[in-house]
Chains A and B, each alone.
Chain A
Amino acid sequence: MSTTAPSRTTDGDGESHPRSPIVHRRRRIDPLYYLFLFPSLTLFSLAVTLPAVLGFGYSFTNSIGFGDWEFIGLRNYIAMFRDQGVLGSYTFTLGFSLITVILVNILAFALALGLTSKIRFTTALRTIYVIPMVISGIVIAFVFQYLFANTVPGMGQAIGSDALSTSILANPDWAWLSIVIVTAWQSIPATMLIYIAGLVTIPGEVYEAGSIDGATGWQAIRHITLPLVSGFIVINTILGFKNYLNAYDIIVGLTDGGPGVATRSVAMSIFRGFEGGDYAYQMANAMVFFLISIALALLQLRITRGRTAF
């Protein structure tokens, strides 16, 4: 960007003459710009970088969050890989994220297709479908908790279904499903809006050309729509997966990690670090979690890059 210098700067050093009259390589810079950058850099360093570095350091100690501590090398990390609780939380979190990301993207894409087609009441329907996005995760989780614990079993008994007669939240094998449902309920709108943004960029002529070649209905979606919104699929999968890996609010509201530890997410076990006196241990957990999140984001980028061509 070859800007002509904002020459009205206050500092008076005269030696920074531009080498070329057109491209000002070393123009004078208003020191105010550094001041503009200062709040965000400071804030970010104090709120993110510093604790991340501290946490990294603590992960090699036996600290319990206060008082004395000493370095114990990699022992926290080694212990983690033998800890059934930690491994369980990773299995749950990864499995839950994978299922949710697939479910949310399919439903959100279908809704986006529906809401961009020739329908009536478009505005009202869009308004309704977006509402879950603006509702607090923990609050709606409490609402669903009541439904899962009282209403659904009640209806299950009424229709004589054994499977539905007990609360899904108390079932160690199926409690995760309730978390998938509520997470999907809340995160479909944002995903859907991104798909709508993608769908409206496709010109109608493309479909007309397609229909001349005989591509209608499902074929048009498969061979025209999907390839054209593939970039949005990438965005939605990566953003979605990143959010679901950090799942906390909705789980607290629905099962609080239970029954037992069946639905304890990684974030939950990290946060409990202060309670059990395994502060440094959970910091090691957090570091591993961080590496896994990054690795997964990169992996998704690679896989989806390869697939965007369809």
Chain B
Amino acid sequence: MSTATPAAPAAPASSAPTTQPARRRRGAVGRDRVNWPVTVLLMVGSLAVLVPLFVTVNMSLKTTEQAVDGNAFSLPDPLTLTSFVEAWNLTNFPRGFAISIFITTIAVIGEIVISALAAYAIVRNWDRRAFRWSFFYLLAAMFIPFPVVALPQIQLTGMLGLDNPLGVAILHIAFALAFNTLLFTAFLRTIPLELEESMRMDGAGTWQVFWRLILPLLGPMCATVGIFAFIASWNDFMMPSLIISDPTLQTVPVLQNMFQTQFSNSYNVAFASYLMAMAPAIIVYLFAQRWVMSGLTQGAIK
């Protein structure tokens, strides 16, 4: 794990925001010499990422009076944390946070376990038609976007009493099944069968083999699937906003909508609230970026 500097923009205040420079790698493989022009270009380009984040932090530290002037780059004067308190109370942050955590936890665990179980059964019984066809059936989900089934889904969840956070978590699992099963099957195919057989010799059944051998072997993959499940569930707006019928059970991202409708002039409070909504995912990412990187790599190679 690197000691990468997190998002603490060192006052890019007055500089005009980030013209996207046309980057070109000059002198393709520059032996061992550091390519400084590219380094500088990339550093300048990174302002495109850092400036919006800086603005979010900057605005959240202002007073309401200062925030209304529309100047995103003027430094907070006086600097205050009251907007965080206000955002905390307005959005009922603890409740929204708990609901988001609830959905995210179920989605993460469910996506890992259910997809891994399916992938294991499919890979070990690939010679059976039922399992092969199940695999292709699940893969079909990749081609069915949520908007296509959204309206009947709203009705169904309503009828089943799942128009709540639990229903959203279940839908997150269902719509991630295809990709996760694909990842797990690709990885499982590379695990030699001998490991499993020796364990079965010692009297372990399929159930034990899965929990004690396969799932641990899938560890790095589980980490990747888990992190992507976390990011996707934590940040999702579409599903909770459509499925959850009770506004008091909404997730953190959906709650941010209130600063567009009811409290549209309290910019400082809005930005404090945005920051509190972004922070958990950014923090998890900074701690887990190793798996974020490797996960995408593995997903892409197949």
Chain A partners chain B: yes
B299 to chain A, nearest CB (A): 8
Considering only CB atoms, which chain B residue lies closest to A290 in the complex?
B148
Among A33, A114, A151, A198, point to the contact of B70 (Cβ < 8 A). Answer: A151
CB-based contact A127/B25 at 8 Å? no
Contacts of B80 in A (CB 8 A): none
Contacts of A271 in B (CB 8 A): 147, 150-151, 242
B10: interface (CB < 8 Å) = no
Contacts of B59 in A (CB 8 A): 146
**How big is the B interface, by class?**
35 or more
A252: interface (CB < 8 Å) = yes
Contacts of A29 in B (CB 8 A): 125, 128
Q: Given contacts A235-B300, A249-B238, is CB(A193)–CB(B293) below 8 Å? A: yes
Q: Within B16-35, which residues are at the interface with A (CB < 8 Å)?
A: 16, 20, 22-35
**How big is the A interface, by class?**
35 or more
Q: Given contacts A40-B114, A51-B149, is CB(A142)–CB(B49) below 8 Å? A: no
B7 to chain A, nearest CB (A): 6
Per-residue CB proximity of A123-164 to B under 8 Å, as 1/0? 111111111111111111011101100110011000000000
Contacts of A43 in B (CB 8 A): 114, 170, 173-174, 177
Q: Given contacts A32-B206, A286-B148, A290-B144, is CB(A134)–CB(B281) below 8 Å? A: yes
Among A40, A128, A144, A287, point to the contact of B49 (Cβ < 8 A). Answer: A128
Among B114, B148, B153, B175, point to the contact of A39 (Cβ < 8 A). Answer: B114
Q: Given contacts A110-B22, A146-B267, A221-B28, is CB(A44)–CB(B138) below 8 Å? A: yes
Contacts of A3 in B (CB 8 A): 124, 127, 193
A274: interface (CB < 8 Å) = yes
Selected interface stretch from B38-46, B81-89, B101-109: B38-46
CB-based contact B286/A127 at 8 Å? yes
Q: Given contacts A8-B200, A36-B117, A232-B300, is CB(A136)–CB(B124) below 8 Å? A: no
A55 to chain B, nearest CB (A): 5
In the bound assembly, the distance between CA atoms of A274 and B174 in angstroms comes to 23
CB-based contact B289/A130 at 8 Å? yes
A18 to chain B, nearest CB (A): 12
In the bound assembly, the distance between CA atoms of A294 and B140 in angstroms comes to 11
Considering only CB atoms, which chain A residue lies closest to B171 in the complex?
A47
CB-based contact A37/B121 at 8 Å? yes
CB-based contact A139/B256 at 8 Å? yes
B269 to chain A, nearest CB (A): 12
A241 to chain B, nearest CB (A): 11
CB-based contact A194/B153 at 8 Å? no
A9 to chain B, nearest CB (A): 8
CB-based contact B49/A52 at 8 Å? no
In the bound assembly, the distance between CA atoms of A216 and B27 in angstroms comes to 6
In the bound assembly, the distance between CA atoms of A138 and B34 in angstroms comes to 39
CB-based contact A185/B48 at 8 Å? yes
CB-based contact A197/B282 at 8 Å? no
In the bound assembly, the distance between CA atoms of A85 and B278 in angstroms comes to 34
Q: Given contacts A119-B39, A134-B284, A142-B270, is CB(A40)–CB(B34) below 8 Å? A: no
Considering only CB atoms, which chain A residue lies closest to B141 in the complex?
A48
Contacts of A8 in B (CB 8 A): 200, 203, 205
Contacts of B200 in A (CB 8 A): 6-8
Contacts of B33 in A (CB 8 A): 118
Considering only CB atoms, which chain A residue lies closest to B9 in the complex?
A128
B145 to chain A, nearest CB (A): 5
Q: Within A273-302, which residues are at the interface with B (CB < 8 Å)?
A: 273-274, 279, 282-283, 286-287, 289-290, 293-294, 297
CB-based contact A274/B154 at 8 Å? yes
Considering only CB atoms, which chain A residue lies closest to B50 in the complex?
A128
CB-based contact B256/A142 at 8 Å? yes
Q: Given contacts A1-B126, A33-B125, A131-B282, is CB(A58)–CB(B39) below 8 Å? A: no
Contacts of A207 in B (CB 8 A): 28-29
A180 to chain B, nearest CB (A): 12
A41: interface (CB < 8 Å) = yes
A87: interface (CB < 8 Å) = no
CB-based contact B126/A110 at 8 Å? no
B72 to chain A, nearest CB (A): 4
B253: interface (CB < 8 Å) = yes
The 8 closest A-B pairs by CB, nearest first: A47-B174, A150-B70, A136-B235, A51-B152, A197-B297, A36-B121, A51-B149, A127-B4
Q: A121-B43, A142-B259, A190-B296 are in contact. List 8 more A-B contacts (CB 8 A).
A: A4-B197, A58-B152, A133-B285, A133-B292, A135-B282, A146-B72, A207-B28, A267-B145
- Can you list 28 pairs linking A and B with CB atoms under 8 Å apart? A6-B124, A7-B200, A8-B203, A36-B210, A37-B118, A39-B114, A41-B138, A48-B174, A65-B155, A114-B45, A119-B42, A120-B34, A131-B7, A133-B285, A134-B235, A139-B235, A147-B55, A185-B49, A193-B293, A197-B296, A197-B300, A216-B28, A217-B24, A246-B147, A249-B237, A270-B151, A273-B151, A283-B152
